[in-house]
Amino acid sequence: MPRAVRRRITVGAILALFGGAVAWSPVSAASAPPWPVWSSHRGATGATTATIVESGYRLSIEAGTPWLNLAGSSGSASFRIPLAAEVGRAPWAGSARWSLTTAGAQLTLWGREPSAAPLLKVVVTARPTYFTVQFSGRVGPLLSQVPQFFTTGNTGLEMSEVSSGTTPDPVFRSPTRTPEVRLGPIPVAPYTAPMAPPPFVVELSTRLGWVGVGLVQVPDATTLSVTRRGAVTVNYPLSILLRIREAGAGGKVTAPRAPSGAVPGGRWLEFPAFVFTTGRSSRADLVAYHSALAAMGQAASAAPPGGRPAWWSWPLVDTWGQQLVTDAARRDDEFTASWVRRYVALWKAEFHIQHFTVIIDSQWQSKLGSATPSSRFGGLAGMQKLVRELHSQGIKVLLWWPMWVLPSAPVSRAKVDPTSSTFASSLATQMRTLLGSGPRDLHVDGLKLDWGSLVPSADHFSRPQLGVGAAALLRYMRLIAQDAWGVARGALIDASAMAPQFVRYEDLLRLYDANSSEAWSDRAATVSAVDPQSLMDGDGWRLTSSQAVSHIVGSSVFGTPAVYYASRWAGGAPISAAQAAALGLLISVAETRGQGTATPLTSDPASGDDWSYTVAGRLGAQSLAGARAIVVYRYQGACRSPQAAEVVSMDTGPLAVPLPAGATLVQVSPSVPVSSKAGTPPMLTVAAGVAYALRLHPGAC
């Protein structure tokens, strides 16, 4: 794949370089409609109110107060948002003075002490479908206090109007009025959080619909949450941030000169912006969050559809599940180069697929975090030989790579510091060893990144100005990706960072250790909303016999299926030869669907894993019958209607096959009974594990 795709500079990216905000300016004043601006009017009580009406919402604020009202564009319902924050200080006193100014679509609110010394500056910027709020202010003496935003200390977001809430973080997915997003280890097995990081957004269900509160830039922090009193908290380490001038690690925390009039010795911080979005549903609001970040240049994809190598759609065959069911994961001496050869040969024989990507998972290293292969693999020479053999069979190779691990010390005692002065050069050497083609290199095709959530505490970093918390993880992933792509232009980075700001540094987004059909579907649906251009790794290492078919069928449509077993599923049930062969055929047909975007066909993950896949605006594939079958459509030229389709089912019996864009069925090969009624899809009586070619008469092109 030409890496020019990765380096493509978009308008949003250029704008991001100059502060991250999109300048919504018309091409010509004569042809463009007037853009909404803040306007002021005096009400019946004599108070002045500033108002702006965008296409999807309405904002208003009464002069002399911090109370911003968010309403629908008609103004029929509202949700109150205090434009105040507690940053190292006690709650705001009733004697605080508030003043505002407006300029176009931007409103600036100042909070001052009675002496007129500024304490807080809040900038609200309205855009057609979202608005941003950025805080900066003088930090008080309570540096151990977690900063709280959208609160006066006594009053926060209007929680009486909140009926429920949710978060895209799989750990905290249950409905709650106090949603939370967290990057970091969790106190229960498997101890690593599923997404590193999840999107930094929380969602609240109100009379207006769903209201999302998210971060624009990547923070020097690890949590975002809503408290029972309606404050939005972000755990910025104030004592560290006050000592540095942030240098662009992904956040926007700076230590600018205090504004004119501030008291001597005042310490002033500027924080990453919040973005507010709305939607009719939780998913719609997540889509709006992604769209807002994309408009601000914060959600660029490393490899959007249309620019990926074809082999990225090959199935992923990971060793870890088979290591577990054969005890090779518990007995180090069992996991060897010969073990990998046997596994690959068995998988190929059972699933009847010749081209796939094998992932050599944990325990291939001489030490965790080292690029040197274990002696069980024959060291450097032995691993080189294994990789050459796999390449000669048309198989690609990825290596598992644990993050935050120093090979020179136990995991519990020391962790990588991506801000250290020696880290960049050390990492570059490791990436060259793994991905290079020289005589001392392994020449693998990419990396599976793991343990991204094990971010050290803020005081671990030697140069915190380069990022702590999520910003440190962003730096780490950026260096890995840039080094990897610099060595091998087509190297594949498989990671589990779901936050849209991270997808520019990963090619595959792994669903990470889900253990139920509902969890896989829910995570995939979240990714399709917040990272729609990302290719998903289905990650099926915990697949049991009852889950295997639906998940592999679903992930064959929404992403790249990952199969971790060749002889038995998780739990010990054997994989029958017939089932493996049928799944292999289905996977092979699905990988021809092209490169596009996935959409779940149901809003409830518990009701099934059926997906549609759109390629260049046309329906490219769809799972059917509760993820028991697939159909892949074939088009000719620019015709909007398919001229052919291919169908594979895991079950024998009747199967309804939808035909988009007015197409009609002409012939099925091999021939099977077909019934059809006007206005309904044709019903085919199919056999399990057989590929059926459908010749269609297209509708109008």
Of 289, 371, 375, 298, which Cα lies nearest the Cα of 335? 375
pLDDT at 508 exceeding the cut of 90: yes
Query: Of 176-185, 188-197, 364-373, 526-535, which range is least confident?
Result: 188-197
Q: Give the per-residue pLDDT at 696.
A: 96
Distance from CA of residue 104 to its chain's centroid? 33
pLDDT at 509: 97
Contact 184, 194 (CB under 8 A): no
195: number of CA atoms within 13 Å, CB side? 32
**Do 259 and 346 share a domain, yes or no?**
no
pLDDT at res. 191: 60
pLDDT band, very low/low/confident/very high, at 468 (cuts 50, 70, 90):
very high
- Residue 624 domain-assigned? no
- Are residue 51 and residue 171 in the same domain, yes or no? yes
Q: pLDDT band at residue 190, thresholds of 50, 70 and 90?
A: low
Q: What is the pLDDT of residue 331?
A: 74
What is the pLDDT, as a whole number, of residue 258?
A: 61
Name the 3-class secondary structure at 246: coil
Digit-coded pLDDT (tens) for 493-507: 999 999 999 999 999
Residue 623 is encoded by which pair of tokens?
A: 């799972």
Are residues 341 and 236 part of one domain? no
Same domain? 172 vs 316: no
Position 352 in a domain: yes
In a domain, 101, yes or no: yes
Question: For 135-167, how does the pLDDT look when each residue is reduced to its tens digit (9 = 90+)?
Answer: 999 999 999 999 999 999 989 999 999 999 999
Q: Are 285 and 350 members of one domain?
A: no
pLDDT in tens, 549-606: 999 999 999 999 999 999 999 999 999 999 999 999 999 999 999 999 999 998 665 5
Spatial neighbors of 265 by CB under 8 A, at least 6 apart, are none
C-alpha to C-alpha distances, 479 to 188, 419, 462, 537, 568, nearest whole angstrom: 30, 11, 17, 22, 38
What pLDDT score does 406 carry?
A: 87
Which residues are within 8 A (CB) of 466 and not within 5 positions of it... i.e. 6 or more apart?
Answer: 247, 249, 418, 419, 472, 475
Residue 123 has pLDDT above 60, yes or no: yes
Last-in-domain residue among 560, 595, 617: 617
Chain CA centroid to CA 592, Å: 24
Q: Is residue 104 part of a domain?
A: yes
Which residue intervals of 591-672 are DSSP H helices? none
Please report the pLDDT score of residue 30 as a whole number: 39
Q: Which of 670, 675, 672, 673 is nearest to 691 (CA)?
A: 670
pLDDT band at 245 (very low <50, low <70, confident <90, very high): confident
Instruction: Give CA–CA dist 649/668, Å, rounded.
Output: 14
Using 50, 70 and 90 to split pLDDT, how confident is the model at 439? Answer: very high
The tens digit of pLDDT for each residue in 307-341 reads 999 999 999 999 999 999 998 877 768 999 999 99
Rounded to whole angstroms, how far apart are CA atoms 68 and 640? Answer: 47
Are the C-beta atoms of 114 and 263 separated by less than 8 Å? no
Token representation of residue 253: 């925390």
Do residues 122 and 135 make contact, with C-beta atoms less than 8 angstroms apart? yes
Rounded CA separation 273/282 (Å):
21
Name the least confident of 188-192, 262-266, 612-616.
Answer: 262-266
pLDDT band at 7 (very low <50, low <70, confident <90, very high): very low
Residues 565/322, Cβ–Cβ less than 8 Å: yes
User: Is residue 280 located within the same domain as residue 319?
Assistant: no
267-299 pLDDT, tens digit each: 888 999 999 999 999 999 999 999 999 999 999
Smallest CA-to-CA distance from 499 within 489, 490, 491, 509 is with: 509
User: Do residues 288 and 315 share a domain?
Assistant: no
pLDDT-derived band at 342, boundaries 50, 70, 90: very high
Q: What is the CATH number of the domain that holds 498?
A: 3.20.20.80
Radius of gyration of the chain (CA): 27
| Nearest of 454, 469, 363, 473 to residue 412 by alpha carbon | 454
Q: What is the pLDDT of residues 512-523, one digit of tens each?
A: 988 888 888 899
In a domain, 626, yes or no: no
Range from 17-21, 533-537, 636-640 that averages highest in pLDDT: 533-537
Q: Is residue 437 part of a domain?
A: yes
Residues 6+ positions from 435 with CB-CB distance below 8 Å: 441, 442, 443, 444, 445, 446, 447, 484, 487, 488, 491
Residues 60 and 56: their CA atoms lie apart, in Å, by 14
What percentage of the chain carries pLDDT values higher than 90?
76
Longest dimension (CA), the chain: 87
- The angle subtended at Cα 242 by Cα 239 and Cα 244, nearest 5°, is 115
Q: For the chain, what is the mean pLDDT?
A: 89
Both 271 and 322 in a single domain? Answer: no
pLDDT of residue 3: 43
pLDDT at 660 over 70: yes
Q: Does pTM top 0.85 for this prediction?
A: yes
> Of the ranges 19-23, 186-190, 603-607, which one carries the lowest mean pLDDT score?
19-23
Determine contact, residues 222/455, Cβ cutoff 8 Å: yes
Q: Distance (Å, rounded) from C-alpha 101 to C-alpha 95?
A: 20
207-239 per-position pLDDT tens digit: 999 999 999 999 999 999 999 999 999 999 999
**CA distance to 88, 111, 138, 290, per residue, from 91 (Å):** 10, 13, 14, 33
Task: Assess contact for 601 and 512: CB atoms under 8 A.
Answer: no
Residue 112, both tokens: 């001052």
Nearest by Cα to 471 from 451, 439, 501: 501
Domain annotation covers residue 269: yes
Q: Are residues 289 and 330 in the same domain?
A: no
8 Å CB contact between 416 and 404: yes
Residues 351 and 286 occupy one common structural domain: no
Q: Is residue 645 a part of any domain in this protein? A: no
Strand-pairing partners, residue 279, are: 210
Burial class (CB in 10 A: 0-12, 13-18, 19+), 411: middle
Q: Which of 405, 415, 401 is closest to 373 using CA atoms?
A: 401
The residues with which 294 forms a beta bridge, in sequence order, are: none
Tell me the percentage of the chain whose pLDDT exceeds 70: 89
- Cα(591)–Cα(310) distance, integer angstroms: 9
Same domain? 74 vs 165: yes
- Quickly list DSSP for 611-634: EEEEETTEEEEEEETTTTEEEEEE
pLDDT of 607 over the 70 cut: no
- β-strand pairing of 48-53 with 58-62: antiparallel
- Residues 492 and 364 reside in one and the same domain: yes
Check whether 420 has a pLDDT greater than 80. Answer: yes
Q: Do you know the residue count of the chain?
A: 701
The domain boundary, picked from 271, 295, 319, lies at 295
Residue 644, strand partner residues: 634, 695
Q: How far apart, in Å, are the Cα atoms of 64 and each of 94, 317, 518, 586?
A: 12, 62, 49, 65
Average pLDDT rounded to a whole number, residues 528-555? 95
Q: Which of 373, 362, 534 is nearest to 450 (CA)?
A: 362
Question: Which domain does 460 fall in, by range?
Answer: 310-617
Q: How many domains does the chain have?
A: 2
Of 410 and 441, which is predicted with more confidence? Answer: 441
Query: Of 569, 588, 617, which residue is a domain's last?
Result: 617
Q: Dihedral of the CA atoms 213, 85, 272, 208 (nearest 10)? A: 20
